[in-house]
Structure 1
Amino acid sequence: MDRSFLDWPFLEDRHRVLAEGLEDWAAGALPVDHGDVDGACRGLVRALGDGGWLAHSGGEALDVRALCLIRETLARHDGLADFAFAMQGLGMGAVTLFGSGPQRAWLERTRAGQAISGFALTEPASGSDVARLATTARRDGDGWVLDGEKTYISNGGIADVYVIVARTGEGEGARGLSAFLLQAETPGLEVVGRIDVMAPHPLAHLRLTGVRLPGEALIGQPGQGFRIAMTVLDHFRPTVGAAALGFARRALDEALARVRSRRIHGAPMAELQMVQGHLADMALKIDAAALLIYRAAWAKDHGAPRITREAAMAKLYATEVAQEVIDQAVQLHGGDGVRTGSVVESLYREIRALRIYEGASDVQRVVIARSILEGA
């Protein structure tokens, strides 16, 4: 794989050491058998913890460039490994950035791979419109009682702890939301059903019925839930682009191997100018995506209070062009590209969801446009 991007000025020597070490580990440990998705995710979380890679998923601070490098590398080797790593960080992102001392004790377990985390934000009727969340949290003495439903929750059904965003009513819309830490065994939390998707991941629909939480389960202050959720997404949206970048890099590698070995009219496919044009387009899109991703990550790591525009650009562009790169890799493989179990067929299924979760592509366009208009 082309690793020249590691020399770009966005990255430091410690990032290069991290990337090389993880590459060596992933080459020996991945991919894993996806036959039992729940079991595979549990095993991956343990393995990532034992390898020390989950130490980067949370703690005193988040190194967004490290998160991007890890997700890009894992996605290139195994999409489920990327999922397992990403959810340990996203699930505990609110605790890393806003959690109290007792809440942060969970980070020791998630960083060690001893507990699995989930981030319960999406609801059946609100989707990307977080301000319309309907799940409620009402005060009950010194604690809270939560009622509502969450859907498409990653690690739903296997997580040990969730961050839940619910409406507490301090104001209208986004101003009336708060975030809570919820242990999976809490009475009233029910896994209504599992959700099967084209690239199998643990997803579930959750229902909360009279879930009682102590006062210390509140993360931050009442009414800060929207700010907490958006700050977490600011950190992790560039990493979604990085995962897409990993998929795209693997697709280009597979395409290069194919066109160099496959012969048409007595010569390798790679000698055809049209094929060369496709390869050039794929490489161009990959480098452009990488520049946007590591620009956003660099800005956050260097103290930018918000990178909403940069993160949206990185997530939007990287996921959209990764779909195009992977589609072209399938095309260059011909019939073998759509054969179940082939690498490019698997990548084709893996990439599609990234254009939807953590803010669908059209939502990112709205975010970018509003940023431009506000600055005009």
Structure 2
Amino acid sequence: MTAFSLEPAQLAWCAELRALAAERLRPLAGKGEPGRVNRALLAELGALGLLPRLFTSGALELCLMRESLAHACTEAETALALQGLGAHPVHAHGTDAQRAHWLPRVAAGTAVAAFALTEPAAGSDAAALSLTATPATPGRPVRPGGADGWRLSGEKCWISHAPEADFYTVFARTTPGAGARGVTAFLVPADRPGLTGTALDMLSPHPIGALAFDAVPVTADDVLGEVDRGFRVAMDTLNLFRPSVGAFAVGMAQAALDATLGHTARRDAFGGKLKDLQSVAHQVAEMALRTESARLMVYAAATAYDEGAPDVPRRSAMAKLLATETAQYVVDRAVQLHGARALQRGHLLEHLYREVRAPRIYEGASEVQRSIIAKELYKNLEDR
């Protein structure tokens, strides 16, 4: 299989996912409360066997899931993706005990996971984290199974699934002044003393909140990976999920394109159909061209990840950048071609217009992706 064509079985699976999203997930999404975790939707994702795939799928299969779900139900796509983002560090870097306790519940949709990286003064610059992990007993080494550990103090903000998650993958500074080398990843259950959260009223319909850490206790048994090596945990997770953010964007772009094709083929205007106007037809052609280009780059980046290629950071950044910027363009053009009806609350495009903006910011803003691409290009030049 190449990155540029899917096998018939993969195409059939994508069609099945789109049908499941429309028939079984969209009704549950419609019953959810904006800004709140939809636990019924998560439970259905688990019952359908989609959440367990987060821990058995490669990057390409993750992209196919996210694109297919996004085409029919963005709420289901986002619920699945956030479970994966929050729990992947546990799956990839956790201890046997951590995995055994949390992953079956995540897969069933009964435990809600969250990825707590961003801070008020450290968004895309993850190495600038200031949430502090202070040794509970200064001068005494922290050992697995011991009561000694650290106390987390500081804030996280714009955390998806906060403050309703059951556990958080939290990145905190264990060595001051060490930049990316002094960050540790912790698995922090939501019921730890000193941990509180507040919901934020955001444009996106899924829950986003802020977390406050007031000397929250963690021990060596809560560490994900190694002490002072948490930045690697974060980047490993983001390199996997960045192409699939692009897949989410491609699914939204395709939904907007499909809606526009139907509308312009039916709509009477100026003595004919909208599609017969060259200015309209050329816009639709451009929307299709950009959507397919983004899709191919997403598939290529995901395949590179699955094959262990050395240029995964560059490809992942390119895929996320192109796909999210493309989706913004396509949805905006679709709104323009639909006219005022697309801005009416409840219209598909009104929903997509609200959903499409955030992916250009989270998991590394578009500007950060450009910086990553440039850095990787010049690094390759120096290595020659």
Partner of 1:100: 95
Contact 1:167 1:177 in 2 (8 A): yes
Opposite residue 330 of structure 2, the aligned amino acid is V
Residue 364 (str. 1) matches residue 359 (str. 2): no
How far apart in 2 are the matches of 1:75 and 1:292?
18
Partner of 1:157: 163
| SS of corresponding position for 1:340 | coil
Please report how far the alpha carbon of residue 38 of structure 1 lies from its aligned counterpart in structure 2 after TM superposition: 5.5
Partner of 2:49: 52
Flag the 1:201–1:230 CA change in 2: closer, same or farther, 3 A: same
Please report how far the alpha carbon of residue 22 of structure 1 lies from its aligned counterpart in structure 2 after TM superposition: 1.5
Partner of 1:71: 66
Bigger mean CA offset, 296-305 vs 352-361: 296-305
Opposite residue 39 of structure 2, the aligned amino acid is R
User: What does 1:171-320 correspond to in 2, within 5 Å?
Assistant: 172-191=178-197, 193-304=198-309, 307-320=312-325
Please report how far the alpha carbon of residue 325 of structure 1 lies from its aligned counterpart in structure 2 after TM superposition: 0.5
| SS of corresponding position for 2:109 | coil
Partner of 2:16: 21
How far apart in 1 are the matches of 2:310 and 2:98?
24
Residue 123 (str. 1) matches residue 123 (str. 2): no
Partner of 1:139: 135
Please report how far the alpha carbon of residue 87 of structure 1 lies from its aligned counterpart in structure 2 after TM superposition: 0.6
Taking every aligned residue pair, what percent have the same amino acid on both sides? Answer: 44
How far apart in 1 are the matches of 2:342 and 2:195?
42
Flag the 1:174–1:39 CA change in 2: closer, same or farther, 3 A: closer
| SS of corresponding position for 1:232 | helix
Flag the 1:161–1:132 CA change in 2: closer, same or farther, 3 A: same
How far apart in 1 are the matches of 2:316 and 2:262?
32
Contact 1:49 1:113 in 2 (8 A): yes
| SS of corresponding position for 1:57 | helix
Deviations 1:328-350 (A, max 9, x none): 10011011122222111111111
Flag the 1:124–1:84 CA change in 2: closer, same or farther, 3 A: same
| SS of corresponding position for 1:157 | coil
Structure 1 ranges of 4+ moved more than 6 A: none
Residue 41 (str. 1) matches residue 38 (str. 2): yes
Opposite residue 68 of structure 1, the aligned amino acid is C
Flag the 1:14–1:133 CA change in 2: closer, same or farther, 3 A: farther
Contact 2:45 2:80 in 1 (8 A): yes
Bigger mean CA offset, 168-177 vs 277-286: 168-177
Residue 112 (str. 1) matches residue 108 (str. 2): yes
Contact 1:33 1:40 in 2 (8 A): no
Opposite residue 168 of structure 1, the aligned amino acid is T
Contact 2:324 2:359 in 1 (8 A): yes
| SS of corresponding position for 1:91 | helix
Q: TM-score, normalised by structure 1?
A: 0.94
Partner of 1:352: 357
Contact 2:46 2:107 in 1 (8 A): yes
Residue 148 (str. 1) matches residue 154 (str. 2): yes
Bigger mean CA offset, 133-142 vs 103-112: 133-142
Bigger mean CA offset, 334-343 vs 249-258: 334-343
How far apart in 2 are the matches of 1:15 and 1:159?
32
Flag the 1:306–1:168 CA change in 2: closer, same or farther, 3 A: farther
How far apart in 1 are the matches of 2:116 and 2:322?
26
Opposite residue 49 of structure 2, the aligned amino acid is G
Please report how far the alpha carbon of residue 62 of structure 1 lies from its aligned counterpart in structure 2 after TM superposition: 4.3
How many pairs were matched up?
368
